[in-house]
Chain A
Amino acid sequence: MVHPVIRFDNVSKTYPKQNRPALRDVSLEIEKGEFVFLVGSSGSGKSTFLRLLLREERTSHGMVHVLGKDLARLSNWKVPQMRRQLGTVFQDFRLLPNKTVAQNVAFAQEVIGKPRGETRKAVPQVLDLVGLGGKEDRMPGELSGGEQQRVAIARAFVNRPMLLIADEPTGNLDPQTSVGIMKLLDRINRTGTTVVMATHDQNIVDQMRKRVIELEKGRLVRDQARGVYGYQH
């Protein structure tokens, strides 16, 4: 039986001490190999959506399945195992400034106890994939924003996750650099990895013509294959 990579069943999330729910009755499925844009204005529930996927938060109502697992029933000590099958990329890169590019990528394998031999092989490979071959020993501070985001993507991808979650990965980058990052994410998507990307970048969404999920005030208002950014500023 093939599970969808992500399944939301009537998911609502209300944070403690807040009246208005951050997500209201959201149901959707995302299949293996899809590339999905998550759009919506600030406060529409995009971040909550991603936090539920990572099980940083639990739902108030409804069920979230990721990679076939019901996150509500996943015990705390199994969460790290689940997260190893996900890759995450953020707007602010979240690199370790005192480690080299290669060390930053290797960190993702070290902390889950992968054998060193494997890391030695995997790190140059993934750095080549993201176009940073030859920059292994540079420090993050010496790199441009686009290059730093490539390091972050390499780190997210080095463990070959089933699902890559990107939270506004181009938010801090200029349009040209953003195109490069999108090409990279597209290449990763073509290896079979499902990509979910939250973004505010209209040009990118309009160019890529991928599935678009739009949230507004916590509700799912649009789910469109080969969609565009949609709402006007």
Chain B
Amino acid sequence: MRAQFVLSEIGVGLRRNLTMTFAVVVSVALSLALFGGALLMSEQVSVMKDYWYDKVNVSIFLCNKNDAATTPKCVKGAATAQQRDQIKGDLQKMDIVQNVHYETSDEAFKHYKERYGDSPIAATITPDQMPESFRVKLKDPEKYQVVATAFAGRDGVQSVQDQRDILQNLFDLMSGMRIAALGVMALMLVIALMLIVNTVRVSAFSRRRETGIMRLVGASSFYIQMPFIMEAAFAGLIGGAVACAMLLVGRYFLIDHGLALAQKMELVNFIGWDAVLSKLPLVLAIGLLMPAIAAFIALRKYLRV
């Protein structure tokens, strides 16, 4: 096998189909950038979940004496001290509970004032209107449902709330964006594959003279096919490299500079450079292999060996 001969064949082939090669590079680059973006998006979601789920609680609100009229569950009036101790005891017996904090009406009032101190509604509220609650921290935040079913129907419990619900909307939005990115990626991928198949077909046709002679003098089918496969792989690798550059530049402008989300959303912690870098080998490998395989399959149809 002569490397130089093969390389010069590849060079000739790529130059001959310059526009097609360019189209392949662009479509591979876009689809892989979207693919990498989707991967990073789901990593961002899981980073944020880790961060926020550590900070959120399940809250069990107890009946207040004012709730008797408004909430059907509290018709028996305010929760008694006995009910309260019972709930606390049961919570502490559960394996999935990490710790339990009891928040009195006064504490709840204080927190409320801190948050909404200046609003007109806050001014009308008195401490005894605030419900008492247990703030429960779970070892695994996903196990919320267990706590909810255990306590939601009990006497003296007004409601069980999972603070995750508030975050869930955000995460749903991000997952939606991820799915959309994957959908567009799939479309771009189909376009890229069709372009590769077409490029191979044109390339095989324009070189039918050479390949015909190669066949007659006994070149192996591998030898005849390799320049085509290497061409596709080379174009794909360039596309993969462009996709990598897009991901790096994308993180730079979205998070650190330009849009600078890191400054605008200080509460969110973003994925780091290492997360981006760790995706690049995968993107490059797919950029190399996928077009090569597509070319190989196309050759079986368009090139006699």
Contact = CB atoms under 8 A, between A and B. Distances in A.
**A and B: interacting chains:** yes
A230 to B, nearest CB: 30
B5 to A, nearest CB: 5
Interface stretch (B61-69, B91-99, B216-224, B294-302): B216-224
Contacts of B218: 80-86, 112, 159
Main secondary structure of the interface of B (DSSP, over half): helix
Contact of A113 (B2, B210, B212, B216): B2
B214 interface: yes
B127 to A, nearest CB: 88
B223 A111 contact: yes
B215 interface: yes
A83 B215 contact: yes
A107 B224 CA distance: 12
Contact of A77 (B209, B221, B224): B221
Interface in A141-177: 155, 159
A96 B223 CA distance: 18
A159 B214 CA distance: 13
Nearest to B2: A110
B213 A96 contact: yes
Interface in B1-29: 1-2, 5
A88 B217 CA distance: 8
A88 B214 CA distance: 12
Contacts of A72: none
A96 B5 CA distance: 15
A193 to B, nearest CB: 15
Nearest to B217: A108
A96 B209 CA distance: 7
A140 to B, nearest CB: 12
A20 interface: no
B217 A111 contact: yes
B2 A116 contact: yes
Contact of A96 (B210, B216, B220, B224): B210
B212 A110 contact: no
A204 B38 CA distance: 73
A81 to B, nearest CB: 7
Interface in B221-242: 221, 223-224
A110 B210 CA distance: 12
Contacts of B2: 110, 113, 116
Contacts of A159: 217-218
A35 to B, nearest CB: 21
Nearest to A88: B216
A36 B99 CA distance: 99
Nearest to A90: B216
Nearest to A104: B213
A84 B216 contact: no
A113 B221 contact: no
Interface string B192-225: 0000000000000000011011111111110110
A155 B210 CA distance: 13
A80 B213 CA distance: 12
Interface in A107-132: 107-108, 110-113, 116
B217 A77 contact: no
A54 B217 CA distance: 10
A112 B5 CA distance: 11
Contact of B217 (A76, A84, A116): A84
Contacts of B210: 96
Contacts of B216: 54, 83, 88, 94
A147 B210 CA distance: 20
Contacts of A54: 216
Contact of A83 (B1, B212, B217, B223): B217
Nearest to A85: B218
A233 to B, nearest CB: 31
Nearest to B219: A111
Contacts of A155: 213, 217
A108 B219 CA distance: 8
B191 to A, nearest CB: 33
Interface of A: 54, 76-77, 80-86, 88, 94, 96, 107-108, 110-113, 116, 155, 159
8 contacts: A85-B218, A88-B217, A94-B213, A96-B209, A108-B217, A112-B223, A116-B2, A159-B218
Given A84-B218, A111-B217, 13 more contacts: A77-B220, A80-B218, A80-B219, A86-B218, A88-B216, A94-B213, A96-B209, A111-B214, A112-B217, A112-B220, A155-B217, A159-B217, A159-B218
User: Shortest 10 CB-CB distances between A and B: which pairs?
Assistant: A84-B218, A83-B218, A111-B219, A108-B217, A80-B218, A111-B214, A80-B220, A88-B216, A110-B5, A113-B1
